[in-house]
A and B are shown apart, each in its own frame.
Chain A
């Protein structure tokens, strides 16, 4: 069993929909949680960063961490065709121990006009 599980999709939604992307993990030591967005034929880019539990909001994007359930989510409100990309979750157990980023496989999202 992988340390981080992420449904690869693909997920297809109409423009304006609310999108929910999720990852589950097994290592209770994870404290640092990230979401990256990767456009086709590009490198991943950092989208959201969260420490420990709780919510973080940035514009149309909200990241949630539920450590009791070992579950993280990324919500995209009012989704746009420009949000079409692969979304990867990543997490880490120790501060500064950044060689230990553990990655999900990524979820492919298509937002249709």
Chain B
């Protein structure tokens, strides 16, 4: 009954470093999403994936890379972290033809 999990829950890194945030879901949902949540901006979609090996950009994709080799995993990589990427990152998933999304607990990332 794990649902959707994210790791790490907290991460501190330095500018220029590569960081990968992990997301794993046990529902076999085909759709997965990455959001960032910032004060004053709300939830903003970074990338989403409709199925394994199918990904597409969201509202704020610059500086991020995703992959999806398996249905259950959807890692998000910050190739060269910047201070502006300090945020709370949420992974979500949903079933096909369903509008509702289910969220993980989030990863708090601080870029120094």
Binding site for B on A (CB under 8 A): 32, 34, 36, 41-46, 49, 88, 92, 95-96, 98-99, 101, 103-106
Binding site for A on B (CB under 8 A): 31, 33, 40-43, 45, 48, 50, 56, 58, 90, 92, 94, 96-106
User: Which listed residue (B45, B58, B96) contacts A96, Cβ 8 A?
Assistant: B96
Query: A44–B108 Cα gap in the complex (Å)?
Result: 15
B100: which A residues are within 8 A, CB to CB? 34, 46, 49, 98
* Given A34-B99, A99-B33, A99-B58, 4 extra CB contacts under 8 A: A43-B90, A44-B90, A98-B99, A98-B101
| Shortest beta-carbon distance from B89 to chain A in Å | 10
Instruction: Judge whether B101 and A43 touch: CB under 8 Å.
Output: no
Instruction: Judge whether A106 and B42 touch: CB under 8 Å.
Output: yes
Query: A12–B13 Cα gap in the complex (Å)?
Result: 37
Query: A101–B101 Cα gap in the complex (Å)?
Result: 9
Instruction: Judge whether B31 and A98 touch: CB under 8 Å.
Output: yes
Instruction: Judge whether A43 and B40 touch: CB under 8 Å.
Output: no
B48: which A residues are within 8 A, CB to CB? 99
